[in-house]
Amino acid sequence: MMSAAALLAKTPKPNDQDIDAAMNGNLCRCGTYIRIRQAIHKASALAASRPVRAAHAVGTAMGME
């Protein structure tokens, strides 16, 4: 989550390559890399639609409210 928040703080509208590069080295035991990428895109859209902190947008997109 922290890597995703840092990415969105640096790159508000990341593409798939940006996300893959930022998340490289973060291992997911459940293998849901596609859903993680989708959540980061969703967080990006959420952050663009209203002023929220990147970490909050990532948490919201991943269902961690």
Going by pLDDT thresholds of 50, 70 and 90, the confidence category of residue 29 is confident
CA neighbor of 38 nearest in space, from 53, 22, 16: 16
The lowest-confidence range among 4-13, 30-39, 43-52 is: 43-52
42-50 long-range Cβ contacts below 8 angstroms, 24+ apart: 43/4, 43/8, 44/8, 44/12, 44/13, 44/14, 47/8, 47/12, 48/12, 48/13
pTM: 0.70
The overall average pLDDT reported for the chain is: 81
Q: How many residues does the chain have?
A: 65
pLDDT value of position 20: 92
Residue 49: pLDDT band (50, 70, 90) is confident
